[in-house]
Structure 1
Amino acid sequence: MNQKHLELLELVPGARDFTVVQPTELEDPGEFLVPGAIVLTVGISFAGEPERLTGYCRALADAGAAAVGLGTGLVFDEVPAELVVGARAAGLAVFEVPRHIPFASILGAVEDERTRLGNIERERLINAQELLSQYAVTGGLEALGRQLSEVLDSAVAIVDNDARSVLREDRGTRCATAVAVDAVRAGRDSAGPTTDGDGFTHTYRMSRHGERFHVLAVETPGPLGPSGRALIRHAAGLADILIQRPAHLRAARAEMNTMAMAILLGVENTADTVDRVFGAVTDARGKIRPVIIHGDHTRAVESAVSAVDDALECRGRYLYSLRIVPNTVLLLFRGDRANRGITELLRAAAAEVRVAIGPPVHWRELTPNLVDDLVIDARSRALGVSGGGTGGARWIHDPAVRAALDTRAAQTWERLVDHDRRNGTELADTLATYLRGHGRITTCAETLGVHRHTVRTRLARISEVTEVDLSDPVACAELLLVIVTRTGGE
């Protein structure tokens, strides 16, 4: 009805959903109709007897038709009133097709729309498959399961042939683990959708490797179309690849398992294994270079780590990373890698984080104290600033110093945070950015994306709230120490 070039005139509104368009001149085409069909006719069987159109409408409705379109100008000059009355009584929609509009034009419009919708569905499937592949590559089996669960709004589970859970991703109250276990015990291969009244389940038996195999189960709130089922098969193939690990990854995992067992049992003879693990990141002298990446937002830190990982992969190197606290990550590089080489690995992501690069040390000399020093150094920097760690801030952890900083924080920083919370302002963030930017108003404004006058106005308000003179460099240095011990997840 929305295709204006067809010039259809709606006479009796009805359901908009239909399945096919079927031209027919049979007086009673019921046995040949597809449920949900739109019937096109010029009414040859009812020439001179329009009163029989009322029974015709009842027969179409009984056959499950959705609507009838009458072509005028050949048998009837206009749509007979009997057809309109009969259609309303039978619950059919009615529209008029002008004589100069061939029925083939309507069939063609429907086919064009089906083609368009099919192309959209195929494009969605391709995009969803690419997204699943991306998550599988970057996040492994767990990320693959989470993404499949989100795309299909479903619970996802994988169990092995011993009914042991390999992956479990629930969705609300839905859980697919029991479905997967039942499929294993029943010895079923891939099964079409089944329903228990609360949802639909789909199971897929993955590739067999010797006696070992896995079953993927998905529980959805409604039935899946061809694209949804194709996506499940694609996810099963990706999961197969991730589960059946290549030999070199299996060897690496075996070494990690050995280390975990040794740590659990307190065994001391793991030196060779540890040497091999860190051998890929040390230089010829056995030295590494620790680096701290810190950001204001988790997404910025994750982007920076991902950029490093991508760059190392291109060089055939492995990523060594450990999250210290929220928004703070420790990375390890070869000891002979220069500062510039490390910042180049971060690429554009460096602008959104703070980076402190430690000195080259033997991997056995990497201590929590050294890492703490780098964390403090990173937090004191402005966004986008990288450089060597100071390594001289251990005194900041002295109990007396921390007590003094706690007192000063209550008088200054915590006042700002409370003021922001009550008034919806951004004074705390402005102060931290200003001090980390070495007290430069222009730098602070550019980082925050505001005008310089806005920064000046905020700084004046900060001085009022904290009762601190921000023109005093000593006072600013004191506040910076307070900030680096309050922000970043501590």
Structure 2
Amino acid sequence: MEPVVAPTLRTLLARAELRLELVSDPASLAEGALDLPVRWVHNSDLVDPTPFLAEDLVLLTTGAQLSDQDQSGAEEYVARLVHRGVLALGFGSGVHRVGVPAELAAACSAVGLALFEVPYDIPFLAVARAHAEAIAAQAYARRTWALEAQRALAIAALRPRGLESTLSELSRRLGCWVGMYDASGAMVHEHPAALTREADGVLDGVAEMLARGGAASRTLEDRDGGFTLFTLGRTGRLRGVIAIAAAALDPETRAVVTSVIAMAGLALEQNERMSRARRRLHSQLLASLRTDDPALARRVLGSLPPAPVAVAVAADVPRIAAIADWWERRRTDAGTASFIAEDADGLTMIVGADDDSLFEELALRFGIRIGVSGPQDYSAFSQAHAQARTALRRGAPGVTRYAVAAGGVLDALAGEEARLLARTRLDPLRRHDQATGAELERTLGIWLEHDTHSERAAAALGIHRHTLRTRIAQAADLLGVDLSSFPARAELWAALRAAG
């Protein structure tokens, strides 16, 4: 990046026409003292000029306020200047004294204040004017740089992949790394390539700004240096973040960066409109796929993930656009064929059955729940979609696969209505057991678990087989069923499972 600081004491001392001479030993000064930006040059012969001074300026004096051989007075005078933030003291030689007083030089050396001598024939006004001219020249150079940078960025925007070209040109103009992250927080472009992608704190800062959802800028400091982050897009609809490896930006640099932010926001908004149109098309193709006919989708898209496929459904997704961006970029990087679409059931994703580990990565990154079907051909797509919805409905946080969530047929039937019906059906047994201390319900359950084999069931209960038969007969009377038929036993078993 071109210099963004005001002219320094070193540049002032280097002006040959002024013939300024540094009296201080450079070794006695703090490191970089000569290279600090000087805000202004002022002159005063007051004993205490500090009420009228600003920080970061150079003070010129003829020494009229200083007494001869007054070491303590010189030290107090210099201490006041240092406390006020004066960067250097210029002594006008030959007005009251020839040469710099030794006591003043000693006082400046003791506290590390830069001291230089101004020749008698050089007016203080000439020194101040020289510094003012340097400030004006520096400001003109910065404005010229900004205009040239704006022109170069406008040309870059007209190239193929205009947004990436613009960001690369910005990096070259600033002389530092520039990176762009999409709405999911993933790196999508950087220049120079792979320079500071893993800088400590930058990824966390990007993620935090995207999570907040408000348009903002932020400065970060870490071991790799400073970074400035700018969001892209409107509050509530952020499209990404641009990161610049510079913590301090002067007004000209910030104006250039702001123009790039505006261009990037416009480009991303155009991309978003195209993405919305593509998502609407995919929603219509999903409706076609759910009829178990992939012909239309293949004609429109050219291809689909190869069968057998895994179908996944995610519902209540807060950042669908960010997920769609991440999914597309991850699919491109991995070379994975996939399909993604929205409908009333949520976000539906399709990959080849061998690539379904992508769902775990997605769920972890965005903290969402995903239900995944078993492998299916497109001729059974509607069944796969139903499996994914079932797995989502029954699943825990993260990814739930239908093979784990489905259980048996009876589990699928065990809804609230089934539980209510089962408990009502078993109520005579439960009231009898509660009143008498009998175990008719438990006896029935053990008997059915042992395929109605009396001897094995009696052994499991620790009772005689005749006792078992008596209990079964009593339970059948209470329930009003004939347990000698398979349908009656099957219905009773289902009721015991559903009732819990």
**Normalization by structure 2: what TM-score?**
0.45
Larger Rg: 2
